[in-house]
Amino acid sequence: MPIAATDYNHVRLTVRDIDVSRKFYDDVFGFEVAFELPPNPDAETREALGFLFGGVIYKFAGGLLGLRPVAPAGDTFAEDSVGLDHLSFTVASLQDVHDAAAVLDELGIDHEPVKDLGDAGMAILEFRDPDNIALEIAGPNS
């Protein structure tokens, strides 16, 4: 009998520099923080939040998204390697997809044009984070 999973719980991305990645995800998405190590934590708090590895975990309607800053300085993401291909976030409307493109423009973040996937009923906007991780905004195409 297969596992009866009902949804995703979380995704954690390995990043090189938490300050750079945190600014990017804060500016682009503005997700609420679920877990982070407070400034000057005591030993008990540091131990209890050791699963963060110095990173942050955000919460939003889709679940949890973590940033784990343990990648070496010269490392970079490659979707053609085993593992993650890209991470896609859902928005409610085609206008929201276009609004996301405007946000990226305002932030000076390069992105592809909004693509209409036709019969798939979806429009997508593709861009990359500071570690070259492929990200996508997906919504209805009408």
Same domain for 103 and 139, yes or no, is yes
The parent domain of residue 56 ranges over 1-73
Same domain for 65 and 9, yes or no, is yes
Residue 34 amino acid letter? A
Same domain for 57 and 109, yes or no, is no
Same domain for 32 and 89, yes or no, is no
**By three-state DSSP, how is residue 135 classified?**
strand
Same domain for 102 and 64, yes or no, is no
Same domain for 1 and 60, yes or no, is yes
Residues 6+ apart with CB under 8 A from 79: 85, 86, 134
CATH code assigned at 49:
3.30.720
Q: Which one of 48, 73, 98 terminates a domain? A: 73
Domains: count for the chain: 2
Reported as a single tens digit per residue, the pLDDT across 99-118 is: 999 999 999 999 999 999 99
Percentage of the chain modeled with pLDDT above 90: 87
Domain membership of residue 79 (yes or no) is no
Which pLDDT score is estimated for 82? 86
> Which phi and psi (to 5°) does residue 80 adopt?
-90, 5
Domain membership of residue 140 (yes or no) is yes
Q: Which of 38-52, 66-80, 94-108 has the largest mean confidence?
A: 94-108
Domain membership of residue 80 (yes or no) is no
Calculate mean pLDDT across residues 58-84.
92
Kindly report the average pLDDT of the chain as a whole number.
95
Q: Which residues of 100-111 are buried (b: 16+ CB within 10 A; e: fewer)?
A: bbebbeeeebeb
Cross-strand bridge partners of residue 122: 140
Same domain for 99 and 126, yes or no, is yes
Domain membership of residue 103 (yes or no) is yes
Same domain for 34 and 102, yes or no, is no
